[in-house]
Structure formats: C-alpha cells, structure tokens
C-alpha cells in the first residue's frame, strides 16, 4: 500500500498523538481518516455547488410560491 510522509514539529506530533489517544484510535488511523474525510468533503461541496446552480435554473420560471 502506498504511503506518505508528513513533516510535523514535536509539538504538532504531541498534540496529534494526544488527540488520537483521546479518541481511542491510533495516530495513523486518525491521520488517514482526517485526510480522506477532507478530500471527500471537498468533493461533496463541489458537487453540491454544481447541483444548486442546476436546481436554481430548473425552477427559475416557476411561480414565486413554488420556488
């Protein structure tokens, strides 16, 4: 499985380790979850922005109370 390396300061790593421990997960698992969640969130928001424009255009001619 491919891997990545991330440079962290000692303080950042300490905070990350403490947070992961407070959640009961490994630092590696937390980092993977956070990274993938951010990518998925951005993809969702991009799709939602596009869908909003399409939906708004679709009802543009509808009577005021039906928009």
What pLDDT score was predicted for residue 4?
93
What Cα–Cα distance (Å) separates residue 17 from each residue in 13, 40, 49, 50? 6, 23, 35, 38
Query: Tokens 């939602």 correspond to what residue?
Result: 48
Half-sphere exposure of residue 26: CA atoms within 13 angstroms, side-chain side: 3
10-residue mean pLDDT series, the chain (67 residues): 94 98 97 97 95 90 81
Q: Is 10 helix (H, G, I), strand (E, B) or coil?
A: helix
What pLDDT score was predicted for residue 66?
76
Q: Is 48 helix (H, G, I), strand (E, B) or coil?
A: helix
What pLDDT score was predicted for residue 31?
95
């Amino acid at each position: 499985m491919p891997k990545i390396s991330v440079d962290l300061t000692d303080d950042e790593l300490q905070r990350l380790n403490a947070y992961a421990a407070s959640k009961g997960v490994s630092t590696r698992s937390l980092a993977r979850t956070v990274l993938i969640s951010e990518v998925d969130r951005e993809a969702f928001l991009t799709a939602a922005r596009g869908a909003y424009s399409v939906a708004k255009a679709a009802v543009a001619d509808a009577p005021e109370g039906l928009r």
